[in-house]
């Protein structure tokens, strides 16, 4: 299996780059790579580069880059996931699997029934944590563009600044009479809202309706928040994306 590595910053064909100590130790100590070994690197902006190791030591590693190419692993369907923040590893799981399934943007939201509370400093640290999870998921899945992960925001605040030009705005609601599969294919992108462990409140569903969101159902069973997120991403990609 080809090793893939996310590297932040500009990458230029034919150049050499030096990795930081953590990355050098990961490749040298964990993966046991040596001078001459090949890998693929990307910076999250679209292309990827073949590379090989030209120098390696305890705390440094140098890579020589080849010519960039496009991997063709990005979905044409633009999915924006607005996800109620759940506890610990559940939210990490959602970020990881949504990235693997091709989501373009994740907005973590603080809701009335959510058990997670974040002040501004903690909110930014969580965003950075989730961005690292997304980077690793891109390495594993072959993606070359990192999804945008927003800093967590209260749902009421997000309604006032939500993006425009969205082809379909959907909110999962137990008991909704409209199935996800019955929605017309969006011309631009799809934005889907999924609640945390306790779901959305009545007032939050009302605010979503006023903001133009349509309530949809995944089926007769009530799923956990992380299951609902992954099932929804898979269904969207199956209906309108690259899993068709």
User: Are 129 and 224 members of one domain?
Assistant: yes
User: Are 189 and 226 members of one domain?
Assistant: yes
Which residues on neighbouring strands pair with residue 81, listed in sequence order?
A: 106, 192
User: Are 148 and 65 members of one domain?
Assistant: no
User: Are 93 and 162 members of one domain?
Assistant: yes
Quote the CA–CA distance of 102 and 237 in Å, as a whole number: 8
Quote the CA–CA distance of 137 and 155 in Å, as a whole number: 26
- Give residue-wise pLDDT tens across range 142-180: 999 999 999 999 999 999 888 888 999 999 998 899 999
pLDDT at 237 over 70: yes
172 in Cβ contact with 218 (< 8 Å): yes
Quote the CA–CA distance of 182 and 59 in Å, as a whole number: 55
- Give residue-wise pLDDT tens across range 6-33: 998 899 999 999 998 888 888 988 899 9
With tokens 């959602």, the residue in question is 94
CATH number at residue 58: 2.40.240.20
pLDDT at 70 over 70: yes
Indicate left, alpha or beta for 8 from its phi (over 0: left) and psi (-120 to 50: alpha).
beta
Quote the CA–CA distance of 227 and 235 in Å, as a whole number: 12
Instruction: Give the residue-averaged pLDDT of 101-107.
Output: 97
What residues make up the domain containing 40?
4-70
Q: What is the pLDDT of residue 192?
A: 97
pLDDT band at 223 (very low <50, low <70, confident <90, very high): very high
User: Are 32 and 107 members of one domain?
Assistant: no
13 in Cβ contact with 66 (< 8 Å): yes
Q: What is the pLDDT of residue 59?
A: 83
Quote the CA–CA distance of 95 and 82 in Å, as a whole number: 11
User: Are 175 and 103 members of one domain?
Assistant: yes
Number of domains in the chain: 2
Half-sphere exposure of 83 (CA within 13 A, CB side): 34
User: Are 27 and 112 members of one domain?
Assistant: no
pLDDT at 1 over 80: no
User: Are 83 and 167 members of one domain?
Assistant: yes
CATH number at residue 145: 3.40.1280.10
């Amino acid at each position: 299996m080809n090793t893939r590595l996310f590297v932040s910053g500009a990458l230029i064909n034919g150049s050499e780059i030096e990795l930081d100590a953590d990355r050098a130790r990961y490749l040298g100590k964990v993966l046991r790579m040596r001078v001459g070994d090949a890998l693929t690197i990307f910076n999250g902006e679209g292309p990827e580069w073949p590379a090989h190791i030209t120098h390696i030591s305890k705390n440094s590693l140098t890579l020589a880059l080849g010519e960039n190419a496009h991997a063709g692993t990005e979905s044409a369907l633009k999915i924006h996931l607005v996800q109620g923040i759940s506890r610990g590893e559940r939210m990490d799981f959602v970020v990881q699997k949504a990235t693997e399934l091709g989501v373009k943007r994740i907005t973590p939201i603080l809701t009335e029934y959510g058990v997670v509370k974040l002040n501004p400093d903690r909110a930014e640290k969580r965003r950075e944590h989730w961005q690292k999870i997304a980077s690793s998921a891109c390495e594993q899945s072959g993606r070359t563009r990192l999804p945008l992960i927003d800093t967590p925001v209260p749902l009421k605040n997000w309604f006032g600044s939500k993006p425009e030009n969205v082809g379909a705005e959907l909110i999962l609601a137990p008991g909704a009479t409209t199935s996800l599969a019955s929605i017309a294919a969006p011309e631009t992108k799809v934005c889907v809202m999924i609640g945390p462990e306790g779901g959305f409140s009545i007032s939050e569903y009302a605010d979503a309706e006023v903001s133009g969101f349509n309530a949809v159902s995944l089926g007769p069973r009530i799923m956990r928040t992380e299951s609902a997120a992954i099932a929804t991403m898979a269904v969207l990609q199956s209906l309108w994306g690259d899993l068709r």
